[in-house]
Chains A and B, each alone.
Chain A
Amino acid sequence: MAEETPWQQALRYANRANPYPFYTELRKTPVARQPDGTYVVSTYREIVTLLHDPRVSSDVRKLPSRAPAPAAAEPGAEPITEAVIELEPNIITCDPPEHDHDRRMMTRHFFGPADAPHQISDLEPDIRRIVAGLLDGMRGKTRIDVVDEFAYPLPVTLICKILGVPLEDEPRFHAWIETALDALDFGPEAASEEMRSRLAGARRSVKELAQFMAGLLEQYAERPGPGMLSAMVHDGGPDGRMSKGVLASNAVLLLFAGHETTVNLIAHSVLTLLRHPEALEELRRRPELIVPAVEELLRFESSVQFWHTRSAVEDIDIAGTTIPAGSPIFLVYGSANRDPQRFENPDQLDLQRPDNQHLGFSQGIHYCFGAPLARLEVQVAVDEFVRRVENPRLVTDPPPYRHNQIFRGPRHVLVDIDGIRD
């Protein structure tokens, strides 16, 4: 059996807590062809170049089947990807002009009217209230799980409110999303018995989530309700109506991406600060540093480690390599954000890092749709955590990680505390 490539090693579950040494290896070949024909791009400059290259498609329907490779040895993630493809494309998985049109419409409903898009910044008091409540709830405890008790409840509560998804349905959609995420694997372990057995359940979960969303949209079509989904169902505005399928697909995306990535970001932020006591102390002393600090945390532990739906529509010459038309392209943001060619001492945490133009939210037309919401949530959450939690100490380091490679994050972060300040 051939030796595993740095990329394959980075994807192994055992390396989830620290894929960075493998990224360092990976960057020695900025555009690296993998045995399955995928081109993995790991350096900052090349990723930014491809993000602005109109010969790169994000449309999964244009994603060709992988280059010839023995199916058993390289099963990749086709089954789950296919399940996603069965949905109509959402804004991450389609190209202009559909993308531009759909995103414009969603922008109007998510952020508010073009002349004063205030809806997300208006949420700050809600964010503060929810965060305060979560921290209050930790009073009297000596050990907390930052993921379950802090990082998860905040974004999920907010995205439900914004979209108009009943919070009572959270246990159901949470289970579907977890099942689907745990089955997605792009690495050598995809072939394992364990991972293969997860696939059927995952496909069912994706389907159920889509049906749930379609049902909710149906309900709003009959009877308008609060939130963005209902508004979109009834929008006959300048960009016209979205088809039911596209709407459902984007609703699933908003619900999922609207919290999963933020959970990981909050959890990673707390984890990273606890690993860097001097940074934690700096932030405690100078709370105004929270704004640049969150940018550094986004760079340091990016919530979306890579993205997998792009492909070359034409031959593309880049960094001495030609990516042949039809090849899948993976952009490894997590590696670009640690690229020493772009960031000085990239493995050091510097809350006041100058010129921190990281790719934590990507760049180009697919720049993270919910970035302003995520930033506000994480700024408030981390700021309050630092201010109020007394003497937090990590219980296990590294903590256990979730299986997913794209949406990389700890499953639990247990922390011992001395108390909660007012």
Chain B
Amino acid sequence: MTLVATLAELVSDFRANGRIVIVGASLAGLRAAEALREEGFSGSLTIIGDEPYEPYDRPPLSKQVLKGWMPAEHTLLPRFREVDAQWRLGVAATGLDRVARQVRLADGDQIPYHRLLIATGTRARPWPNPAEAALEGVFALRSRDDAARLQQALATRPSRVLVIGGGFIGSEVASVCRELDIPVTLTERGPAPLVGALGGVIGEIAAQMQRDHGVDLRCGVSVSSLEGDAAGHVRRARLSDGTTIEVDVVLAALGSIRNVEWLQGSGLAAGPWGVGCDAGGRAFDINGVVTDSVYVAGDVARMPHVLYEYQFLAMEHWDNAVFGAEVAAHNMVNLEPHYRPHLLLPGFWSGQFGVNIKSVGVPPFGDEIIFTQGSVKDRSFAAAYGRRGRIVAAVTFDHGKWLEYYARLIEQSAPFPPPPPGWDRPDIMKPVPAEFPAPGVPTAIPDVVLTGHDPNERRAEFRPRGH
């Protein structure tokens, strides 16, 4: 038998009799399972999820669910085909043994696999002081249960809500509070809300939008401590500028932490940055060598992107979960030369204060911004981000129908600034600094050190800080 024929037989045998385990029962996990079956994989499929629920959609949680328009359990994702899987819901994966090819579960079970997909996503970064975080009325928002609890708290019409952090989640929650006519204070350590994702120029517009809708917005301050009453309910927040605010509900919207702890000791390139992988979703081991049996998709994946100088990007976006899962699934049941790359032009949206904010590309990759269409005053405009003379991203406020024009320009590495539109030109059309904050110094990232002297023995290993 020729080598080619043998390989073809291996693939078809794997498709018929292989064992695939997906860790993560959310959007990426579900779509990967569907894609595997669509690809003709008829072997055994196990899906492991730490939450007791079947896959649900998260974006509605911080919007329509919080508003009370529908309950949190109304977010179950539609199914596009049978996946015929064994579902292990409500039990977390706690370890990975790549030598034995087994996933360890919290209940002690060991699940064997031939190929593994890591889609464990992220969780909300909790308020750092555990005692304060445990006060009643202090919330985070990531899961369906989080949303249900926060919604109940808002339904009691608190006298004031404090939102800590002006990212998308924090801003959306502040927007919902104002729609419900609940007084809300939002604190942001940076100079403006959304500054990390969209830069200071857009952040300033978002800030004005928040203030116009009655948000008590405080930028450049942080929350030093939270204080509770005798019953253990949060009542007061002390800010870094020395002021205090009386509140009964606090949302810590401090961003996310990637769920990689269970991969400790697995020898994968997993850390606070996520799980490193190639653009086909194949995980890297600690040495940066691609593995053949472990794949990554969704929020937890970090992969090089051709449009962005092959920098490793973690794209915590909905479309990344869907397309990344499809690509990983395809590659799990195919061999070279049939691998498919995940060449997503990332995009995201956020509805807040009655405005639809959409973006395409990677705004923080840009260092300049230019308004290209519409009116900043009316909060109805398009703007493009540039870097070294080419367009790398765009953002629209209520101008979503134009976004695909910019997407095409980005895909073509078109010049920045882009050509002016034929009409509805903004008052000022001149590139200005986009004002992204300097990348913060990450905390608690372990050092990577090289060991071994013989080239054959040379390996990388993690040396956690403080050890």
The CA of A314 and the CA of B404, in the complex, are separated in Å by 19
Contact B402 A54 (CB under 8 A): yes
* A49-B408, A95-B424, A364-B401 known; A55+B375 contact, CB < 8 A: no
Is A59 interfacial (CB-CB < 8 Å)? yes
Question: Using an 8 Å CB-CB cutoff, how does the interface string of A89-119 with B read, 1 for contact, 0 for none?
Answer: 0000001110010000000000000000000
* A49-B408, A54-B373 known; A96+B424 contact, CB < 8 A: yes
Is A141 interfacial (CB-CB < 8 Å)? no
Contact A97 B374 (CB under 8 A): yes
Is A158 interfacial (CB-CB < 8 Å)? no
Contact B408 A55 (CB under 8 A): no
* A96-B374, A97-B374 known; A52+B401 contact, CB < 8 A: yes
The CA of A418 and the CA of B424, in the complex, are separated in Å by 58
* A52-B404, A54-B372, A97-B374 known; A314+B419 contact, CB < 8 A: yes
Measured CB to CB, the closest approach of chain B to A44, in angstroms, equals: 14
Contact residue among B380, B382, B420 (Cβ-Cβ distance under 8 Å from A100): B380
Contact B424 A54 (CB under 8 A): yes
Chain B binding site: helix, strand, loop or mixed by DSSP? mixed
Question: Using an 8 Å CB-CB cutoff, how does the interface string of A15-57 with B read, 1 for contact, 0 for none?
Answer: 0000000000000000000000000000000000100111111
Q: Chain A residue with minimal CB distance to B408?
A: A49
- Chain A residues with CB below 8 A from B422, complex form: 54-57, 62, 95, 312-314
- Chain A residues with CB below 8 A from B372, complex form: 54
- Chain B residues with CB below 8 A from A97, complex form: 374-375, 424
Is B405 interfacial (CB-CB < 8 Å)? yes
Is B423 interfacial (CB-CB < 8 Å)? yes
Is A365 interfacial (CB-CB < 8 Å)? yes
Measured CB to CB, the closest approach of chain B to A421, in angstroms, equals: 37
Measured CB to CB, the closest approach of chain A to B425, in angstroms, equals: 9
Is B78 interfacial (CB-CB < 8 Å)? no
Contact B401 A59 (CB under 8 A): no
- Chain A residues with CB below 8 A from B423, complex form: 54, 57, 59, 95-96, 313
The CA of A325 and the CA of B404, in the complex, are separated in Å by 22
Question: Using an 8 Å CB-CB cutoff, how does the interface string of B415-429 with A read, 1 for contact, 0 for none?
Answer: 000011111100000
Measured CB to CB, the closest approach of chain B to A45, in angstroms, equals: 10
Contact A52 B405 (CB under 8 A): yes
The CA of A52 and the CA of B380, in the complex, are separated in Å by 16
Question: Using an 8 Å CB-CB cutoff, how does the interface string of A185-204 with B read, 1 for contact, 0 for none?
Answer: 00000000000000000000
Chain A binding site: helix, strand, loop or mixed by DSSP? loop
Give chain A interface residues in 253-306, CB to chain B under 8 Å: none
Contact B401 A55 (CB under 8 A): no
Contact A54 B421 (CB under 8 A): yes
- Chain B residues with CB below 8 A from A95, complex form: 422-424
Q: Chain B residue with minimal CB distance to A95?
A: B423
- Chain B residues with CB below 8 A from A312, complex form: 422
The CA of A100 and the CA of B401, in the complex, are separated in Å by 12
The CA of A257 and the CA of B12, in the complex, are separated in Å by 57
Q: Chain B residue with minimal CB distance to A49?
A: B408
Q: Chain B residue with minimal CB distance to A316?
A: B419
Measured CB to CB, the closest approach of chain B to A202, in angstroms, equals: 29
The CA of A218 and the CA of B423, in the complex, are separated in Å by 32
Measured CB to CB, the closest approach of chain B to A59, in angstroms, equals: 7
The CA of A371 and the CA of B420, in the complex, are separated in Å by 31
Contact B405 A54 (CB under 8 A): yes
The CA of A62 and the CA of B421, in the complex, are separated in Å by 14
Q: Chain B residue with minimal CB distance to A54?
A: B421
The CA of A146 and the CA of B189, in the complex, are separated in Å by 68
Measured CB to CB, the closest approach of chain B to A414, in angstroms, equals: 42
Give chain A interface residues in 353-392, CB to chain B under 8 Å: 364-365
Measured CB to CB, the closest approach of chain B to A49, in angstroms, equals: 7
The CA of A410 and the CA of B374, in the complex, are separated in Å by 42
- Chain B residues with CB below 8 A from A365, complex form: 401
Question: Using an 8 Å CB-CB cutoff, how does the interface string of A304-339 with B read, 1 for contact, 0 for none?
Answer: 000000001110000000000000000000000000
Contact residue among B374, B382, B404, B419 (Cβ-Cβ distance under 8 Å from A55): B419
Measured CB to CB, the closest approach of chain A to B383, in angstroms, equals: 13
Measured CB to CB, the closest approach of chain A to B416, in angstroms, equals: 16
- Chain A residues with CB below 8 A from B421, complex form: 54-55, 313
Give chain B interface residues in 26-52, CB to chain A under 8 Å: none
Contact residue among B375, B402, B420, B424 (Cβ-Cβ distance under 8 Å from A52): B402
Among B375, B380, B402, the most chain A Cβ lie within 10 Å of the Cβ of B402
- Chain B residues with CB below 8 A from A52, complex form: 401-402, 404-405
Give chain B interface residues in 422-461, CB to chain A under 8 Å: 422-424
Measured CB to CB, the closest approach of chain A to B458, in angstroms, equals: 50
- Chain A residues with CB below 8 A from B420, complex form: 55, 314
Measured CB to CB, the closest approach of chain B to A326, in angstroms, equals: 11
Measured CB to CB, the closest approach of chain B to A31, in angstroms, equals: 15
Query: Can you list 22 A-B pairs, Cβ within 8 angstroms, ordered by A?
Result: A49-B405, A49-B408, A52-B404, A52-B405, A54-B373, A54-B382, A54-B402, A55-B419, A55-B422, A56-B422, A62-B422, A95-B423, A96-B423, A96-B424, A97-B375, A100-B380, A312-B422, A313-B422, A313-B423, A314-B419, A314-B422, A365-B401
Beyond A97-B374, A314-B419, 10 additional contacts (C-beta under 8 Å) are: A52-B405, A54-B373, A54-B423, A56-B422, A62-B422, A96-B374, A97-B424, A312-B422, A313-B421, A314-B420
- What residues make up the interface of A, taking CB atoms closer than 8 Å to B? 49, 52-57, 59, 62, 95-97, 100, 312-314, 364-365
7 closest Cβ contacts across the A-B interface? A313-B422, A54-B421, A95-B423, A96-B424, A52-B405, A57-B422, A55-B422
